Amino acid sequence: MLLPDLRAQICEANRALVPAGLVRLTWGNVSGVDRASGLWGIKPSGVDYGVLRPEDIVLLDLEGKVVEGHLRPSSDTKTHLHLYRELTEIGGITHTHSLYATLFSQAGRELPCYGTTHADHFHGTVPVVRALTPQEVAQDYEHFTGVAIVERLRELGLSPLEMPAILQQHHAPFAFGKNAMDSVNNSIALEMCAQMALGSLSLNPSLGPIPEHILEKHHLRKHGPGAYYGQVGAH
Taking alpha carbons only, the member of 63, 71, 53, 7 closest to residue 33 is: 7
Instruction: Give the integer Cα–Cα distance in Å for 93 and 184.
Output: 8
Instruction: Give the integer Cα–Cα distance in Å for 168 and 127.
Output: 9
From 48, 76, 141, 229, the catalytic residue: 229
Q: Report phi then psi at 48, rounded to 5.
A: -65, 135
User: What stretches of the chain adopt beta strand conformation (E)?
Assistant: 28-34, 39-42, 58-61, 66-68, 92-96, 128-129, 165-168, 173-177
From 76, 100, 120, 140, the catalytic residue: 120
Whether residue 120 lies in the annotated active site = yes
Instruction: Give the integer Cα–Cα distance in Å for 164 and 183.
Output: 8
Taking alpha carbons only, the member of 131, 126, 185 closest to residue 153 is: 126
Torsion angle of alpha carbons 45, 48, 54, 56, nearest 10°? -40
Whether residue 229 lies in the annotated active site = yes
Residues noted as catalytic: 120, 229
